[in-house]
Amino acid sequence: MRPRLEARIGASRTMVYATPVLAVALTMACGSVLFAALGHHPPAVLYAFFIQPLSSVYDLAELTVKATPLVLCAIGLSFGFRANVWNIGAEGQLTLGAIAGGGIALWAGDDAAAWVLPAMIVAGLLGGAAWAAIPAFLKTRFNANEILTSLMLTYVAILLLSYLVHGPWKDPDGFSFPQSRMFADSVLLPLLTMGTRLHLGAPITLFLALGAWWVMARMFIGFQIKVVGLTPAAAGLAGFSVNRLIWITLLTGGALAGLAGLFEVAGPIGQLQPSISPGYGFTAIIVAFLGRLHPVGILLSGLFIALSYLGGETVQIELGLPLAVSGVFQGMLLFFLLAADVLVRYRIRWRRAAMVQEAG
Amino acid sequence: MAERGVPARLQLRGITKQFPGCLANDHIDLTLGPGEIHALLGENGAGKSTLVKIIYGILRADGGDIKWDGQPVSIASPSQARRLGIAMVFQHFSLFESMTVAENVALGLDHGAGLDALSARVGEVGRRYGLALAPEKVVHDLSVGERQRVEIVRCLMQEPRLLIMDEPTSVLTPGEAEALFITLRQLADEGCTILYISHKLQEIRALCDRATVLRAGRVVATCDPRQETARDLARLMIGEDFSQASKTAGGPCGAARLQVRGLNMAAAAIHGTAITGIEFEVAAGEILGIAGVAGNGQNTLLAALSGEQLCPNAGDIRIDDQDAGDLGPRRRRRLGLAFVPEERLGHGAVPEMSLTDNALLTGYERQDLLSRGSIMFPRTRDYAQRIVKSFQVVTGSIGSHAGSLSGGNLQKFIIGRELLQQPKVLVVAHPTWGVDAGAAAAIHTALLDLARQGAAILVVSQDLDELLQISDRFAVLSEGRLSECMVTAAADIGRIGLLMGGQATGHGRENGGERRAAQT
């Protein structure tokens, strides 16, 4: 006897949306076992991880600040993923957006006019899009795999930022620390609530998420993206240009990631420094899939993953657990999500080994 | 047959198989005698495939029992079926293109053997049954007919006592099919039982001793097909009388609406066939058929016609006297072209999307379903609803996924989608391939109606009977070249067979497949 996976006739639609919830529940259950084994009282740890970071206005604002770049990148990526364009380089596009927008802030100096911040936003969008245009060109012109090119360009982008803050853009009064001058207050994103770091980027992100939903559900371009992802040959029959869609999805993804980078440096950070993101561009891949590549789902999953960052910090401070706990949680979450997905689409059959030929 | 104490080779009693939402086999009884050629007839979805998969051990029945030579057996896997002496030739071949004939045969055997010894045996089996094959040739270079021979030889190497053949002639020229029948009759004479699955009624009447007809998972009749007319068999199969559409001879044809002039195209896919010097015209009100065995350049020609591959010169293809060779699919549709591809799921329709979305897929241009980049859903749903209604597509609702429809219903939906766009030129590939007789008749009627309204229709099909039935003129595509067009009413079947086998001038009497094998 050995187990075999057998395709289900028509996966349940309810289950497709229920799996993320199921995965979260399983992650908590397994986390509890882990904490118990480490000698902690599981309810206390779970409280510290999932509830405590939500217990004050400041904490909620922090959660939103962390979720903003995750959601922005994930929404951009979801366009590509729907069309089978596997942009893995959101982190690099985010960095380029920060460089382009930050460059304008530094150029404008201390007495920047009112148009500088909008110009920075545009530059952030264009910077990220330009960086994503490289894989798009290589893919459409030479059929180069965008997974490799976009990933490799991430490291180029990070090194470029590092060169700039160590070299030409280094703060002359910064005691040789590798960081730029602080941006002028007039070019920083306005704060929404005093005493928190919650900035204008959050409502813009929410607005963009709703816009993305409209594009995917109602617009013909969203339909084209879905068709090319599901059945490329049918897209060819209908006259949808695959190359055009590769360009559109990569440029959109790059632009949104670039915007996320600009929001970081013009928001919580306020300057350019060698590291401007704790891997938001990569974590956004998990956010996109956890949110079922759906804009509303991505909003929820972005908040959840942001919570796992904050929860990891809280349990480290409160209970002395290692920071790696948030990594473990994110890993378990992705694992349970993928496993549940498999079981929604297939069922396990125990039967004697049998060779299957021509199952169609 | 099971008489005078000789046990039946295979006896099925009360075989039942339930799939979620569908009872595929409902208490099926089937008895196959030694040396009998037995036809299994039925529409798509009647349960034929399920039944043979149970016999070959791919599926397990939920109920009923199987006797082999009078002994109760349970067939748990294909390898157990092969040990009993059951062999099967699938409709879709499972050959490795980059390996030789002998290597492919070796892979299909349960017991290993030296390649040299095997090559010798392949030659020997081939000579004995008239299946000429060169063991050292690479499969990729073989014609479809030759590939089927590899599959058959692979089965015969195991000296089967029951050979199951699933729609074997769907890919063969008439000459190749006739050669296959000779082989099958010889096998039957030697005592091998043959279970023969087919849609083609004429062929079953010519070949088979007995026929079991399935409908909706049940046996509805067992008869001697030679005693029945093709029409009776069809009636048994679909359970109702159906009217067969056919072309009412030569109405006057109008001006040329689709013109192809000296079209040369490289193959689109790696193993595709290039086409050279293609020339033809289709007039308003006319149906032009293009016959030929698959793999002779049909896919390249179809991609060039749909606009999925652009032609080298704008003037290579003209639609209503406008150059269209350099236009993509969307702009050709604007000129009045509609197109039905060969593959329904995965080309003509997106399986995971609803019928509404699939209506939008090609209808957006000519049905005006968009408004400034947004989809007008009420209009789109209305269009999908009209397709379902006018073409009697059996489906739960227009929200159902295309993948959930049966092959025939999906084909009706796709053809309906194109016809409701009121095309001036319609290009259809294999309109009734794998579609049951009732749906096929409906599709043929729809095509003839469209032609009567003044559209030019091009039908590319492997089914010669179909082309003879509905086309005004037709030509044969072979090795990327198109023969001259013939008037259907005056066509000579023998000559068509030769053309399909790649013999443009028809000298020599041997059939096309053998000639190909001899040349190379």
Residue numbers in A near B370 (CB within 8 A): 220
Considering the domain boundaries, does residue A256 fall inside one?
yes
B393 has pLDDT over 90? no
Q: Percent of chain A at pLDDT above 90?
A: 60
- Amino acid identity of residue B354, one-letter, is S
ipTM above 0.85, yes or no: no
Residues with Cβ within 8 Å of B332's Cβ and at least 6 positions away in sequence, in order, are B306, B307, B319, B324
Q: How many domains does chain B have?
A: 3
The C-alpha atoms of residue A179 and residue A164 are separated, in whole angstroms, by 9
Assess whether B448 and B515 both reside in one domain: yes
Contact B48, B42 (CB under 8 A): yes
- C-alpha separations of B134 from A166, B115, B146, B149 in Å: 70, 13, 10, 11
* Residue A114 touches partner B, C-beta closer than 8 Å: no
State pLDDT tens for residues A328-353: 887 888 889 888 888 887 877 776 54
Assess whether B206 and B164 both reside in one domain: yes
Assess whether B418 and B468 both reside in one domain: no
- Amino acid identity of residue B473, one-letter, is R
Residues with Cβ within 8 Å of A255's Cβ and at least 6 positions away in sequence, in order, are A76, A97, A125, A126, A128, A129, A132
Residue numbers in B near A357 (CB within 8 A): 58, 78, 90, 94
Select, from the ranges A55-64, A133-142, B166-175, B222-231, the one with the highest average predicted confidence (pLDDT).
A133-142
Q: How many domains does chain A have?
A: 2
Band (pLDDT 50/70/90 cuts) for residue B511 is very low
The C-alpha atoms of residue A211 and residue A221 are separated, in whole angstroms, by 13
Assess whether B410 and B463 both reside in one domain: no
Site of tokens 């409709």: B91
State pLDDT tens for residues A3-54: 777 777 666 677 777 888 888 889 889 988 988 888 888 888 888 888 888 9
CATH code of the domain in which A192 resides: 1.10.3470
- The pLDDT, as a whole number, for residue A280 is 93
Assess whether A27 and A156 both reside in one domain: no
- The pLDDT, as a whole number, for residue B238 is 67
Domain residues for B405? Answer: 343-422
The C-alpha atoms of residue B277 and residue B291 are separated, in whole angstroms, by 17
Assess whether B125 and B225 both reside in one domain: yes
Considering the domain boundaries, does residue B118 fall inside one?
yes
* Of the partner residues B330, B353, B375, the one whose CB lies closest to the CB of residue A239: B330
Assess whether A227 and A141 both reside in one domain: yes
* Of the partner residues A221, A233, A355, the one whose CB lies closest to the CB of residue B347: A233
Contact between chains at B92 and A360 (C-beta distance less than 8 A): yes
Considering the domain boundaries, does residue A47 fall inside one?
no
Contact B69, B238 (CB under 8 A): no
| For range B435-441, the mean pLDDT | 79
A-B interface: how many C-beta pairs under 8 angstroms? 89
- The pLDDT, as a whole number, for residue A79 is 96
Band (pLDDT 50/70/90 cuts) for residue A360 is very low
Assess whether A3 and A117 both reside in one domain: no
Name the token pair of A307: 């919570």
A183 has pLDDT over 80? yes
Cβ-in-10-Å burial (0-12, 13-18, 19+) of A209 comes to buried
- What is the 3 state secondary structure string of B242-311? CCCCCCCCCCCCCCEEEEEEEEEECCCCCCCCCEEEEEEEEECCCEEEEECCCCCCHHHHHHHHHCCCCC
SS3 B336: coil
Band (pLDDT 50/70/90 cuts) for residue A189 is very high
The more confidently predicted of residues B140 and B299 is B299
Q: Percent of chain B at pLDDT above 90?
A: 36
Chosen domain end from B390, B406, B422:
B422
Assess whether A181 and A135 both reside in one domain: yes
Nearest CA in chain A to B370: A220
- C-alpha separations of A241 from A233, A248, B310 in Å: 11, 11, 13
Assess whether A173 and A27 both reside in one domain: no
Q: Which of A275, A233, A314 is nearest to A55 (CA)?
A: A314
Q: Which of A67, A71, A41 is nearest to A54 (CA)?
A: A67
The C-alpha atoms of residue A100 and residue B238 are separated, in whole angstroms, by 69
Considering the domain boundaries, does residue A276 fall inside one?
yes
| For range B329-345, the mean pLDDT | 92
The distance in angstroms from the start CA to the end CA of chain A is 24
Assess whether A23 and A61 both reside in one domain: no
Residue numbers in B near A218 (CB within 8 A): 374-375, 377
Contact between chains at B350 and A219 (C-beta distance less than 8 A): no
Band (pLDDT 50/70/90 cuts) for residue B520 is very low
CA–CA min distance A237, chain B (Å): 6
A271 has pLDDT over 90? yes
Q: Which of B452, B462, B378, B377 is nearest to B419 (CA)?
A: B452
Considering the domain boundaries, does residue A48 fall inside one?
no
Considering the domain boundaries, does residue B372 fall inside one?
yes
Assess whether B391 and B440 both reside in one domain: no
Assess whether A210 and A341 both reside in one domain: no
Assess whether A188 and A277 both reside in one domain: yes
Domain residues for A332? Answer: 1-40+323-360
The more confidently predicted of residues A347 and B502 is A347
Contact between chains at B78 and A354 (C-beta distance less than 8 A): yes
Assess whether A285 and A356 both reside in one domain: no
Considering the domain boundaries, does residue A288 fall inside one?
yes
Assess whether B234 and B288 both reside in one domain: no
Assess whether B37 and B128 both reside in one domain: yes
Considering the domain boundaries, does residue B1 fall inside one?
no
Q: Percent of chain B at pLDDT above 70?
A: 88
Considering the domain boundaries, does residue A180 fall inside one?
yes
Select, from the ranges A308-312, B170-174, B358-362, B485-489, the one with the highest average predicted confidence (pLDDT).
B358-362
Strand partners, B482: B477
Assess whether B291 and B172 both reside in one domain: no
The C-alpha atoms of residue B284 and residue B306 are separated, in whole angstroms, by 18
Nearest CA in chain B to A238: B362
CATH code of the domain in which B511 resides: 3.40.50.300
State pLDDT tens for residues B200-257: 777 888 889 999 988 878 898 898 988 888 777 777 776 655 555 555 545 556 788 9
Assess whether A169 and A301 both reside in one domain: yes
Largest Cα span, chain A: 77
Residue numbers in A near B331 (CB within 8 A): 239
Considering the domain boundaries, does residue B504 fall inside one?
yes
B78 has pLDDT over 80? yes
Considering the domain boundaries, does residue B328 fall inside one?
yes
Chosen domain end from B365, B395, B422:
B422
B51 has pLDDT over 70? yes
Considering the domain boundaries, does residue B473 fall inside one?
yes
- C-alpha separations of B47 from B19, B41, B210 in Å: 11, 10, 18
Assess whether A57 and A141 both reside in one domain: yes
Assess whether B158 and B39 both reside in one domain: yes
Contact between chains at B375 and A358 (C-beta distance less than 8 A): no
Assess whether A307 and A247 both reside in one domain: yes
- The pLDDT, as a whole number, for residue A285 is 92
* Of the partner residues B329, B333, B361, the one whose CB lies closest to the CB of residue A227: B361
Nearest CA in chain A to B309: A236
State pLDDT tens for residues A96-143: 999 999 999 999 988 888 899 999 999 999 999 999 999 999 999 999
How long a stretch of residues is chain A?
360
**Residue A324 CB neighbour total at 10 angstroms:** 11
Considering the domain boundaries, does residue B225 fall inside one?
yes
Residues with Cβ within 8 Å of B24's Cβ and at least 6 positions away in sequence, in order, are B17, B18, B47, B50, B217
Residue numbers in A near B269 (CB within 8 A): none
The C-alpha atoms of residue B518 and residue B520 are separated, in whole angstroms, by 6
Contact B319, B332 (CB under 8 A): yes
Assess whether B100 and B187 both reside in one domain: yes
CA–CA min distance A191, chain B (Å): 35
- The pLDDT, as a whole number, for residue B503 is 52
Assess whether B353 and B326 both reside in one domain: no
Q: Percent helix, strand and coil across chain A, each rounded to 5? A: 70, 5, 25
| For range A69-81, the mean pLDDT | 97
Which residues between 186 and 245 in chain A have a beta carbon less than 8 angstroms from any beta carbon of chain B? Answer: 218-221, 223, 226-227, 230-231, 233-234, 236-239, 241
The C-alpha atoms of residue A232 and residue A84 are separated, in whole angstroms, by 9
Considering the domain boundaries, does residue B207 fall inside one?
yes
* Of the partner residues A236, A238, A354, the one whose CB lies closest to the CB of residue B76: A354
User: What's the mean pLDDT when you consider all of chain A?
Assistant: 89
